[in-house]
Amino acid sequence: MVNMLLQNVSCEDLITESASSESDDVDDYTGTTLSAIKILGEARDVDSWGDALTAAVVALLRNVEDPERITDIDGRTRSYFVEEERQSEVVAPHKIPDTDLYLEANFSANTVVRVIERVPDTYEYDRAELGIFTEES
């Protein structure tokens, strides 16, 4: 996973920027402003941590044969992904486009990052294909 602090970089610049760019690893995303995510070589502008989670999940599920396997990713006390009939079990359900699945969108920034990191592991994607870009406050 690539974590970068952006300074005057456009989303288009992220597509061409290599993972070996100068980066500032972030351990705590609390209070940070999210700017963009890069997933499987595609950069996306995002407005919130919930948008980032949705965009990451949609991109990662796009080419998998069994999107329902994502429901195996759970927290200690709650489900992160549920099938349509169980959407009432999550606090802020967001439909995952092109599936019958919903994701929990009521998470802290740090939890969103942890969940985004778990999705590629579930589908055997390389975490290096993911990047989270924040802006300087």
**Residues in contact with 133: Cβ distance below 8 Å, sequence separation at least 6, in sequence order:** 3, 4, 5, 6, 9, 14, 34, 35, 36, 37, 38
Phi, psi of 83 (to 5 degrees): -80, 160
Give me the residue spans of the domains in the chain. Answer: 2-135
Cα separation values, 31 from 1, 4, 65, Å: 20, 15, 36
pLDDT tens digits, one per residue of 80-134: 999 999 999 999 999 999 999 999 999 999 999 999 999 999 999 998 889 999 8
* Confidence at residue 18, expressed as pLDDT on a 0 to 100 scale: 39
The pTM of this model reads: 0.79
> Does domain 2-135 fall into CATH 1.20.1380?
yes
